[in-house]
Amino acid sequence: MIDTENFYLVQQIANLLEKKLDLKVKDHGMWRIQCLIWDTLEEKENYEKYGSIAFTTDLDKMSEEEKKELTLN
């Protein structure tokens, strides 16, 4: 289900994909766009919290202690 907070943005992106690339939302689903938004927001949050190490490390597999240690170095 599409997050209501981002629905307008998802709709705009879907319209742009249809207009520019002839990709129909009915064929591909707007859920993919929503997942892209979620992933991007999560990456932004991790970058703000852990810095550039967030892009080179699998944060999901690390403990909070390990994450703190990386941000201190």
Number of domains in the chain: 1
Q: What mean pLDDT do residues 44-71 have?
A: 76
Supply the pLDDT for residue 36.
87
This prediction has a pTM of 0.62
Supply the pLDDT for residue 73.
58
- For residue 9 the two structure tokens come to 């943005």
SS3 30: coil
pLDDT tens digits for range 6-53:
788 888 888 898 899 888 877 667 888 888 888 888 888 888 887 777
Range of the domain at 52: 4-72
Question: DSSP H helical segments within 1-73, as ranges?
Answer: 7-21, 25-28, 31-50, 64-72
**Does 2 have pLDDT greater than 60?**
no
